[in-house]
Amino acid sequence: MTWKKSLSMLGSGLNILLFLVMVCMIFIVISSRASGGEPSVFGYQLKTVLSGSMEPTFKTGSIIAITPLEEAEKQSLAKGDIITYLKDDETLVTHRIVEASETGNSMTYQTKGDNNEAPDGEPVLAQNVVGEYADFTIPYAGYVMQYANSKAGSIALMIIPGLLLLIYAGYSIWQGIKEFERNIVKKKSTNNESL
């Protein structure tokens, strides 16, 4: 295989990669804006880990997938399950259940971060549980998600891959023109030699 073919294949691969990155970034930005926060993919909600309370299970800055739960499912969680719950009106927390208790006809859960020494201060009411950890983590991708949720990030993550594609397309066109000119010069010299 010649170096030109290798370079051409590398260029094609880069072009496809940049296109896929652009599509993914557009999806993340649009999905984040539509949901008012983190996006949903195939029924899973994606959440960004903002603290180290659950290390080493997942690192700060990771993205985790959670499965949204119905009311009946919220009542049947058990010790060892990792849940995401509303701590207050705006704060979501993802911690492990260390104890489940029935109070009346509802459940409460005592939670604790894997990296914390003591359990959380107050038990979690079942109705405050948002979802259960779906055993899917993308380390450090949460930093990109947080940036994508910012105004500057939304613009940059949609424009930069597009600009890179345009630059690569311009380079490909320039290479094509050079190759075309070389072929014309070769053809002229071959025609002159045959006369």
Indicate the SS3 state at residue 98: strand
Write the CB contacts of 132 (distance below 8 Å, at least 6 apart in sequence).
Answer: 66, 67, 69, 73, 77, 81, 82, 83, 84
d(CA 182, CA 120): 72
d(CA 79, CA 126): 13
Write out the H or E segment, with its range, that includes residue 177: helix 151-194
Strand 92-103 versus strand 129-138 pairing type: unpaired
- Active-site annotation holder among 6, 8, 51, 76: 51
* Catalytic status, residue 12: no
Cβ pair 78, 100 in contact under 8 A? yes
Residue type, 40: S
Active-site residues, by number, are: 51
